[in-house]
Chain A
Amino acid sequence: MKNKNQTLTMRDAFLESIYQAMSHNKNIYFLTADFGAPILDKIRNEYKNRFINVGVAEQNLINISSGLASEGYDVYAFAIAPFITMRCYEQIRINLALTSSLKKINVNLIGVGAGVSYDVSGPTHHCLEDLSIMSLLPNFTIFSPSDIILVKKFFSHTLKNKNPKYLRFDSKPLGIIDEKFFNFNFLDGFRLIKNQSDKCLVTTGYMTHVARNINNKIKEKVDIIDFYSLKKFNKIKLFSFLKKYKSIVTLEESFEKYGSIENIVKTIMINSKKNIKYTFKGFENRYTFDVGDRNFIHKLNKISETDIISELES
């Protein structure tokens, strides 16, 4: 079981949950903009009426999803992360965010390809803006998990909470974050790996795994706060955690200065009088055309494990 969990992608874990639910919940529609996954074949064959491939048409994907949701259906819309957020941002703004101010719209946007997980596909497939722009939208829930345990836990919320959501999934299997979490409650929106350090890495998604790798390489292990719900989270608890540190470093596959985790920490800590050293690590505000794997791209953008270790030891 452990092996399977280590090799299962977030996409497949979540689609499996949808597939299971569709057998008894006839209120679910699954729409894709011609983006696939092995388990989708089962959904496509068994639930023909409620599986729709709209074609390579992300704007229409959002509009149709909104129409279905306005009539009471729970909708999952599926595409590559940069395309399902940026190709159709105005459709998302009007037909999901704005419309859900006035009526219940349960559309769950599943974007696969967080950060630079589609490394060699180049900058069209790199997704560094999504967390920033999606966090801007009122009424939206933003879910950026680091492992499939969180993904599976989140599934029931996608049916229970009738508001639009953006789910940012990595394209690669990342494995499980299997450390013990301090005082963990899923609804807090984040979880703390406590090592009694006065330094803390605040991370989301793949960067939580980077943070964990760093802890395996350095002598004095640091605390890690793994963020997964970027708009709805326990602010009081977060402040109570963060105020104890002397140094806080945020890590995310977003552009620096515009990052979502970065802004959360800035907003929460704005009234803190304690002298804390803050470092906000993200990508430089430029596009990367250089070809290489994720580690190579991270190195180019000074967000590699080595860069972060240097920062922690400085």
Chain B
Amino acid sequence: MTLKNLNTKYKKMRESFFAGLLKKTKWVRRETLLIHKISTATRIASSMSVVEIFVALFYGKILKYKNKNCKWELRSRLIISKGHGAICLYPILADLGFFRKEELKNVCKNNALLGGIPDPKIPGIETVNGSLGHGLGYACGVALALKEKKIKTNIFVILSDGELCEGSVWEGLMFAAKHSLNNIIVILDNNKTTMLDFTKNIIDIKNLNKILINMGWLVKDVDGNNIKKIYQTLFSINKNSINKPKFINANTIKGMGVRYLEGQQLSHIMSLTENQINDSFIKNL
């Protein structure tokens, strides 16, 4: 086979890989809408902005895991600090065999495994979530522990931009930089919208990337809803051995894929009607 043919074959494989990931994002959005149909108490807009990030982490094989051994010591630690916006993770975990797919039909019902916000009684979930500003500091402790045990695996922390208002996040950011916790990868779901308003109208952090760089973080800025770009960023940063904690500023759209939510100031607290879900479902087919 010639070099040219090899390149063509490699290019086709890459295209096929990204087409597969893109297909998964559409599937995850549809499944998430179905979950929202079962329980409109779930936070749909926050879950839609983060879909590409989870798809890249799981289906892009960035994360190391064993679906039947969630305590496997070498696993990647995934800490979902913005726990309210993570119901899109449920279909992924079910699909990958962490729990039975039937559980997806019972979200938020009495005695269900899956609630509106994931917690560690669900296989694949590391931390108690739901209150903001906890995940990064916890991750710092895990990072120290793994370094002490000489376990080479990364800790991924999903933060929301609204969460940056919590002072405890900055305590964690300063600590991770000071201690060069290069096994921490923060992914900021920067969807620019909090519960009541657009983030810029509340606390407008100018030059966030520069602040973090000056603090001692390696920072990458990326379109977080572009599956190819977020995957490539995650892949390269996951392999990067620089002696700094890493931060991906993933620019996303709150309610991505649902026209009733995108660009809405109050999308965080909006629930969709059945007609709106059906309409959005068709769009994501």
Contact = CB atoms under 8 A, between A and B. Distances in A.
Contacts of B172: 60, 63
- The main secondary structure of chain A at its interface with chain B is helix
B215 to A, nearest CB: 14
Nearest to A103: B120
Interface in A256-299: none
Contact of A67 (B137, B171, B174): B137
Interface in A87-111: 90-91, 94-95, 98-99, 102-103
A64 B175 contact: yes
Nearest to B130: A94
A36 interface: no
A68 B148 CA distance: 10
Contact of B167 (A59, A65, A72, A73): A59
15 contacts: A50-B148, A54-B175, A57-B175, A59-B133, A60-B172, A63-B138, A64-B137, A64-B138, A67-B142, A67-B145, A68-B141, A70-B126, A71-B146, A72-B145, A90-B131
B120 A63 contact: no
A49 interface: yes
A67 B120 contact: no
What are the nearest 10 A-B pairs in CB distance?
A67-B141, A63-B137, A71-B145, A60-B171, A64-B141, A59-B168, A67-B142, A68-B141, A57-B171, A67-B138
Given A49-B148, A59-B171, A98 B128 contact: yes
B73 to A, nearest CB: 9
A57 B134 CA distance: 13
User: Among the interface residues A29, A70, A90, which one has the most CB atoms of the partner chain B within 10 A?
Assistant: A70
B141 A70 contact: yes
Contact of B127 (A57, A64, A99): A99
Interface string B5-33: 00000000000000000000000000000
Q: How large is the interface on A (under 10, 10 to 19, 20 to 34, 35 or more residues)?
A: 20 to 34
Nearest to A58: B171
A99 B120 contact: yes
B175 A66 contact: no
Contacts of A98: 128
Interface string B199-242: 00000000000000000000000000000000000000000000
B139 interface: yes
Interface residues of B, number: 28
A55 B128 CA distance: 25
Nearest to A65: B141
A149 interface: no
Interface string B133-159: 110111111111110110000000000
B120 A102 contact: yes
A67 B131 contact: no
A68 B141 CA distance: 4
B174 A63 contact: no
Given A59-B133, A63-B134, A95-B134, A68 B171 contact: no
Contacts of A54: 171, 175
A52 interface: yes
Nearest to B140: A64
Given A54-B175, A71-B146, A73-B145, A59 B128 contact: no
Interface string A27-66: 0010000000000000000000110101101011011111
A99 to B, nearest CB: 5
Contacts of B146: 71
Nearest to A64: B141
A134 B142 CA distance: 25
A71 B142 contact: yes
A67 B140 contact: yes
User: Among the interface residues B120, B137, B167, B174, which one has the most CB atoms of the partner chain A within 10 A?
Assistant: B137
Contacts of B121: 102
Contact of B137 (A60, A72, A99): A60
A69 interface: yes
Nearest to A56: B171
A224 to B, nearest CB: 41
Contacts of B143: 67
B119 interface: yes
B89 to A, nearest CB: 18
Contact of A66 (B131, B133, B141, B149): B141
B134 A91 contact: yes
A55 B174 contact: yes
Given A67-B137, A70-B138, A102-B119, 10 more contacts: A29-B144, A62-B137, A63-B171, A65-B141, A66-B138, A67-B141, A67-B143, A68-B141, A71-B146, A102-B121
B138 A59 contact: no
B163 to A, nearest CB: 13
Contacts of A52: 144
B158 to A, nearest CB: 16
A60 B134 contact: no
A102 B137 contact: no
A64 B171 CA distance: 10
Contacts of B171: 54-55, 57, 59-60, 63
Contacts of A69: 141
A94 B134 CA distance: 8
Contacts of B133: 59
A134 to B, nearest CB: 19
B168 A60 contact: yes
User: Among the interface residues A59, A73, A98, which one has the most CB atoms of the partner chain B within 10 A?
Assistant: A59
B144 A64 contact: yes
Contacts of A57: 171, 174-175
